[in-house]
Structure 1
Amino acid sequence: MTAAIRRTVTFPGISVDRLKSMLGAYNGHLKQIEQRLNVKIFHRGEAFFIDGEIDIVTRAEQLLHRLHEESELNPQITADTLHLIIQGSQTDRDFQEDCSDQEHTGLDEVWLQTRKGRINPRGANQKRYVQRILQSDISFGIGPAGTGKTYLAVAAAVDMLERNEIQRILLVRPAVEAGEKLGFLPGDLTQKIDPYLRPLYDALYEMLGFEKVAKLIERQVIEVAPLAYMRGRTLNHSFVILDEAQNTTPEQMKMFLTRLGFGSRAVITGDVTQVDLPRGQQSGLSHALRVLEPVKEIHITRFHSRDVVRHQLVQKIVEAYEGWDSEQQRLSAQARAERKARQDTLISENDAAADAQHDA
């Protein structure tokens, strides 16, 4: 059993407002850290006293420093923000355990600047994802909902647009629910596919504001299109985001990837476990991941349940579904093995009976 220790963390000269932001209402932020990490934290003036096992105390100390940094940018830290900070610290630890020091180098200083403020990736996996988006012409973000893969792709597009590195943003999503046949829906093209692109719009509104987004769409600086309407186009100086890519066919995925022109960048996001295609239809995303794996210039970032940055319960829900799926796959494999063993036994018995009859 690890011995308990006490560690003191001080923030000399911290203002009353920043201290209030760090503590939360009725010291709620400290209580949240205590509950999540199983430590005790006492506060007196500029000093915080942390009691617990040495590894946990070290992590709590790091969280307090992150909270202090956040209070400089955010005068009103919410419980949700603190949850993301705690979650990010855990993914940092997991990432460092999974990767070599060389792979982790350079991941600390990366952020995206939008009109509404700076967006900081939460956790090492998100940082690596953003870094790959900014450095690669084609990037994949694969993983469950809530890991920030689409949100960060939109943020990267806005960041590059604001710095005039690209001329337009294209948002593309397969409209599987309408079978890519949108003619029967009312309205123009944008109105027909708006419901399928709503998550992308929400991210844009948050980063640029409603009026700015509306003006950019009117000027076609931001363009929305169903995947089927991309055929025959060549996209130059553009940032193209293909969301829900698991609902593409292999032919559609190849068509999309070959639209990329000079000075353009593409980010493909999706969750290979959430395919809405007709039964028996192969997912273009799964197919592309296998085909493009040898291409070194294309980077693939895989997110896991530990990277979920929504409500804490969402992470547990994702983990529960992943566990259930794994168990079902194990049982199916076991059942197939048992059926094959029975068939082999039956064939052997029949062969033995035939040999005995022949000898007789």
Structure 2
Amino acid sequence: MPSRKIHFQSPRQLSELYCNQEENLELLESTFPVKVVCRDNWVQIEAESEEAIQAVADVFELLLSGREQGLSIKNADFKKTVEGIAQGQKGDLASLFEGGSVIKTKRKSIVPKTLGQKSYLRSIFENDIVFGIGPAGTGKTYLAMAAAVSMLIEGKVERIILSRPAVEAGETLGFLPGDLQEKILPYLRPLYDALNDMLSHSDIEKLTERGIIEIAPLAYMRGRTLSNSFVILDEAQNTTSEQMMMFLTRLGEGSRMVITGDLTQVDIPKSRSSGLLEVKNILKGIKDISFHFFDASDVVRHHLVQKIIQAYDRYRGDTRQ
């Protein structure tokens, strides 16, 4: 029976490629007519045909390519790669795994950590409107911010506009204490935190004073046309249907929008439908509008965050049955 042994730099490198999960090796064997054995720093592939051996070798080759670029291979990435190879999509997968994905800002270079994040960044650079939908910790807002700062530095946009609906406290801004800046700051703090990772404090102050970076509540977007801008709407699950339509129709010439949100964290009254939930069906299939859905496998925070999200997903699934 034909066989091939592939060697890697270390046992750890090999185990990282299949996430150190026996079930992923079993997935290879159930998808392709092969027998796969992993030991130390090598993997041996046995099959009746060279074609099947090559298919499994392609899986490991692509995963290694991604790992060498800084991707943290997740179970979902492994499964996506196996399915893609089985469906003859090696070329498409290679273009996703390969090629530069480093986002350069003034303070640091940012590299996507998962295949899902890399696909999301590609969508942002290729489409005028992108929706990033998924749980906390997947980098959906942070990566959008990185893309915005990068495009501003490169002169591809003239302004960055960052917005959020201010509904988390269940109060209107007018009833909150303090002046306007003090009222809105708690809602916009996560956006400032991300900016501080990418630009110096003095740069942020200077750009904000000149109106090149603008951070404002969603209510302040009404009646405007946002041209030559990179516009990010965060926490979009807390928009109403009317607010979502209002925001999307602000898009002006030379601009792009990224709308992010988590549909499990809706804070608006139950009597109102989430604009983010509704827009998935309204805009589906329109050219230059892309929807990217993250799941727990894309979480890049503490490892327990991923497990917490998965536990809640299971719980919600059980209670709906």
Fold similarity call, TM over 0.5:
yes
TM-score normalised per structure 2 = 0.78
**How far is the alpha carbon of 1:179 from its aligned partner?**
4.7
* Equivalent in the alignment of 1:106: 95
Aligned match of 2:20 = 37
Report if the CA contact (8 A) 1:171-1:241 is conserved: yes
Structure 2 residue 122 is the aligned partner of structure 1 residue 139: no
Partner in structure 1 of residue 234 of structure 2: 243
Residue 59 and residue 198 in structure 1: after superposition, are their counterparts in 2 closer, same or farther (change >3 A)? Answer: farther
Counterpart CA distance in 2 for 1:120 and 1:111 is 5
**Equivalent of 1:50 in 40, 45, 50:** 40
How big is the shift at 1:66?
6.9
- In the other structure, the counterpart of 1:231 is 222
Per-residue CA deviation, residues 269-314 of structure 1 (Å, 9 max, x unaligned), is 0011211111221101011111111313210001111111111111
Equivalent-residue separation in structure 2 for 1:321 and 1:9 (angstroms): 38
- 8 Å CA contact 2:227–2:255 kept in 1: the answer is yes
Larger displacement relative to structure 2 (54-63 or 180-189): 54-63
Aligned residues of 2:299 and 2:305 also touching (Cα < 8 A):
yes
What's the TM-score, normalizing by structure 1? Answer: 0.70
Could you give the per-residue CA deviations for residues 106-128 of structure 1, whole angstroms, max 9, x where no partner exists?
A: 22322311112321112221111
Matches within 5 A, 1:324-339: 324-330=315-321
Label 1:38 to 1:290 Cα distance change in 2 as closer, same or farther (>3 A): closer
Within the alignment, does 1:93 sit opposite 2:83 as a pair?
no
Distance, in Å, in 2 between the alignment partners of 1:246 and 1:69 is 33
Cα-to-partner distance string for 1:150-180 (whole Å, 9 max, x where unaligned): 1100001001000011111111100113457
Task: Figure out how many residues of one structure are paired with residues of the other and give that number.
Answer: 287
SS at structure 2 position matched to 1:175: coil
- Could you report, residue by residue, the CA deviation over 1:183-213 in whole angstroms, capped at 9, with x for unpaired residues? 2334443332111111111111001122211
Q: Which residue of 1 aligns with 2:275?
A: 284
Q: Map 1:159-178; keep pairs closer than 5 Å.
A: 159-178=150-169
2:173 alignment partner in structure 1 = 182
Seen in structure 2, the aligned counterparts of structure 1 residues 95 and 111 have a Cα distance that, compared at 3 Å, is farther
Cα distance, 1:181 vs structure 2? 2.3
Shift of 1:65: 7.7
Instruction: Specify the SS of the correspondent of 2:174.
Output: coil
Aligned residue type for 2:304? L
Gaps of 5+ in 1: 11-28, 40-48, 71-84, 331-360
- The 8 Å contact of residues 8 and 41 in structure 2, kept in 1 or not, is answered as no
**Aligned match for 1:209, one of 196, 200, 203:** 200
User: Secondary structure of 2:308's partner?
Assistant: helix
CA gap 1:252/1:8 in 2 versus in 1, 3 angstroms = closer
Q: Distance in 2 between matches of 1:251 and 1:274?
A: 19
Question: How far apart are the structure 1 equivalents of 2:21 and 2:252?
Answer: 52
Identity %: 49
Partner residue of 1:337? none
What is the alpha-carbon distance in structure 2 between the residues aligned to residue 104 and residue 172 of structure 1?
A: 34
1:69–1:136 CA distance, 2 compared to 1 (3 A): closer
Instruction: Please say if residues 37 and 60 of structure 1, whose CA atoms lie closer than 8 Å, have aligned partners that are also in contact.
Output: no
Q: What is the CA–CA distance in structure 2 between the aligned matches of 1:106 and 1:69, rounded to whole Å?
A: 13
Larger Rg: 1
**1: distance between equivalents of 2:283 and 2:133?**
14
CA distance 1:297–1:58, change in 2 (3 Å): closer
Q: 1:97 offset after TM fit, Å? A: 4.0
Task: Tell me the distance in 2 between the aligned counterparts of 1:65 and 1:117.
Answer: 23
Q: Is the 8 A contact 1:138 1:265 kept in 2?
A: yes
State the secondary structure of the residue aligned to 1:37. Answer: coil
